[in-house]
Amino acid sequence: MATTQTPAREIVEPTSEDTEFVFFSGKGGVGKSTVSCATATWLADNDYETLLVTTDPAPNLSDIFEQDIGHEVTEIEDIDNLSAIEIDPDVAAEQYRQETIEPMRALLDDEELETVEEQLNSPCVEEIAAFDNFVDFMDSPEYDVVVFDTAPTGHTIRLMELPSDWNAELEKGGSTCIGPAASMEDKKAQYERAIDTLQDDEQTAFAFVGKPEESSLEEIERSASDLGELGIESQLLVVNGYLPESVCEDPFFEGKRADEQAVIERARTEFDADATATYPLQPGEIAGLDLLSDVGGVIYDGEEATVEVGSATDVETDQSVDVDALANPDSVAEQLTPGEETRYLFFTGKGGVGKSTVAATSATKLAEAGYETLVVTTDPAAHLEDIFGEPVGHDPTSVSQANLDAARIDQEQALEEYREQVLSHVQEMYADKEDTEIDVEAAIANVEEELESPCAEEMAALEKFVSYFEKDGYDIVVFDTAPTGHTLRLLELPSDWKGFMDLGSLTKGAAPAKGDQYDEVIETMQDPERSSFAFVMYPEFTPMMEAYRAAEDLRDQVGIETAFVVANYLLPEAYGDNAFFANRRAQQEKYLGEIKDRFETPMMLAPLRRDEPVGLDELRAFGDEITGLSDLERKQGVALS
């Protein structure tokens, strides 16, 4: 096979007899899974025994390869040397519990076993169990290469921190929230090897995937810096989905392409230009082996991309779909506005679908309509600051718009607040017990030690999230949540932690009792008169299916119904008059019809813009276009403030 030795090829191709590891990360929705699948396919086609692993809680490998994969290692059809697995966190957690408990059954009595089982009901076990699977695949000599399709960026950083965090936890000895430390010495050794491997750039390659957008590039820069602090160097950047020059025939798309090319040039300047690869937007979705081979050939063999512009008639669309008729502005506006009590709005979805922009736009219009509004981001890769063009801190601060405050949960600050809260409570608990047999100093030291556990970070994030249900003075609180899989995890936490705290674990027992408060939060989120959940997506198969699966999980696991959906980035009819965009419009119409049929909820339609709205003036104008709030206020005879 005649090939070109591109820098990207040199980065991912094995160079030794040891198994090599290639990690792909990036904001969700940027094509990270597509590039991961294309890389794994390319490696397998080049005779390397390859395993593809996704740690994303909302995986889509099955959709891309067009076959069922799931939690077991599965051979990919029609490709020699390639297998894949989608790690299921629930299955991984149960396997971890059983593997931890089984060796103890002959050593412990029933009461002691029950104590261990209670420990292993900690929500932390899901996190460490998924990582345990991850570590297992880092010790797989039967493969030449293991390709990891990781969770969206902010959570990838958390994943990479875990070996050090859990290793430190196990070194303390005694009982931990992931099981008795004494029984886990083999795990400790595994974690130490994982740390060494992740930091070895001869054995591990780390790649970011991003869209040709300023916000995507800025997030990658931040994440690359965070990884550098962990001793992990990023080596490859793939800018995915730029507009082909041949299809941009009018000022709208010529302008968008010029902006994209400027971002690509900036990427090549600020990253290693030789290790920056690009791949164009296709007229249809990338799925199936032919297109995956095309992606791999462009990135790793220096081939020209194949863009089949003339394939507009390939998309079968329901001609009865009237896009304009799908919008329900009045119904959406009613879901946005509060009744007599505070309303909580949750915007969630696959990362990169414009969730933060829609949340900020809705909050701005609600504030303009006279409602006291707070918008909060729980997304670890948030960019509300970029959208508002103003600083957004950990605590609610006024944005330069009447009635509008904004906040961004800072994980480190939330953890520090939680530590102070717990220790203050513990000191009060023991204040009148100095004359008893209790060793107060030892008890407090024990709590301080548990607060260094990674479990405390999750609990701290939950505490901060719950605190926004107690904020007085707001008519509406808008949550811009983390990408879909992690949103579900956050919403399950009140139930999980309430049960875990009832078990009396030291730190959880030492924390102020908040079981009733968590019950109230759960009930509020389940009440459609108080809370509205909206999934944001662009009308393509993968974002639609991920949102649909998440909505089903939200209903089945948490008892929450989806209030409305947002279909974003709809191609404007006035521009792009050629086969390429006709194909993409037909594809969008097809999926808009499927979204309507699957969700059976009101729909907000948001068009693709020449530029993303930045600043309050642009957000207000965009809000007039998509939210229906101005029309609703006029119909109700309420003057806008």
pLDDT of 641 reads 42
Q: What is the pLDDT of residue 112?
A: 73
Question: For the domain 323-411+459-633, what is the CATH superfamily, name and number?
Answer: P-loop containing nucleotide triphosphate hydrolases (3.40.50.300)
Domains 14-89+127-167+194-305 and 323-411+459-633 share a fold: yes
Q: Average pLDDT for residues 368-372, to the nearest whole number? A: 93
- Return the higher-pLDDT residue of 50 and 98: 50
Q: Indicate whether 83 pLDDT > 50.
A: yes
Q: How far is CA 361 from CA 28, 117, 437, 458, 549, in A?
A: 21, 46, 59, 29, 26
Over residues 554-575, mean pLDDT: 90
pLDDT at 500 over 90: no
DSSP string covering 404-429: EEEEE--HHHHHHHHHHHHHHHHHHH
Is residue 390 over pLDDT 60?
yes
Question: Which pLDDT band, with edges at 50, 70 and 90, does 639 fall under?
Answer: very low
pLDDT of residue 153: 47
* Closest to 130 (Cα-Cα) out of 57, 185, 195, 197: 57
pLDDT band at 448 (very low <50, low <70, confident <90, very high): confident
Tens of pLDDT, residues 217-263: 887 887 788 778 777 777 899 999 999 999 999 999 999 999 999 99
Spell out the residues 6+ positions from residue 90 whose beta carbon is closer than 8 angstroms to its own. 126
What was the pLDDT predicted at 47? 95
Q: Return the percent helix, strand and coil in the chain, to nearest 5.
A: 50, 15, 35
CB 56 within 8 A of CB 149: yes
Helices and strands per DSSP (H, E), number in the chain:
25, 18
Q: Mean pLDDT across the stretch 595-608?
A: 93
- Whether the predicted pLDDT of 507 surpasses 50: no
pLDDT over 50 (residue 546):
yes
- Alpha carbon distances (Å) from 421 to 135, 417, 561: 34, 6, 34
Q: What is the mean pLDDT of the chain?
A: 80
pLDDT of residue 471 exceeding 90:
no
Q: What integer pLDDT is reported at residue 288 of this predicted model?
A: 76
Q: Which residue has the higher pLDDT, 116 or 40?
A: 40
Rounded to the nearest 5°, which phi and psi values hold at 254? -60, -40
Task: Report, as an integer, the average pLDDT of 511-515.
Answer: 54
Summarize the confidence of residues 587-609 as an average pLDDT.
92
**What is d(CA 562, CA 376) in angstroms, rounded to the nearest whole number?**
20
- Tokens 């759960």 sit on residue: 522
- Domain limits, the chain: 14-89+127-167+194-305, 323-411+459-633
Q: 437 falls in which pLDDT band (50, 70, 90)?
A: low
pLDDT over threshold 80, residue 435? no
Residue 375: the pLDDT is 95
| Joined tokens for residue 315 | 């998309």
CA neighbor of 619 nearest in space, from 367, 322, 361: 361
CATH of domain 14-89+127-167+194-305: 3.40.50.300
Spatial separation of the C-alpha atoms in residues 71 and 50, rounded to whole Å? 17
Extract the tokens encoding 102. 């089984």
Predicted pLDDT of residue 398: 92
Residue 212 DSSP one-character state: S
What pLDDT sits at residue 308? 72
Predicted model pTM: 0.78
pLDDT tens for 401-424 read 999 999 988 888 888 888 888 888
- As a whole number of angstroms, the distance between CA 550 and CA 350 comes to 10
Q: Is the pLDDT higher at 38 or at 273?
A: 38
136-149, pLDDT tens digit by residue? 777 777 899 999 88
Give tens-digit pLDDT for 162-180. Answer: 555 545 554 555 445 544 4
C-beta separation of 312 from 583 below 8 A: yes
Phi, psi (degrees; rounded to nearest 5) at 347: -105, 120
**Torsion sign, CA atoms 138, 141, 145, 147:** negative
Lowest mean pLDDT among 154-168, 339-353, 443-457, 518-532: 154-168
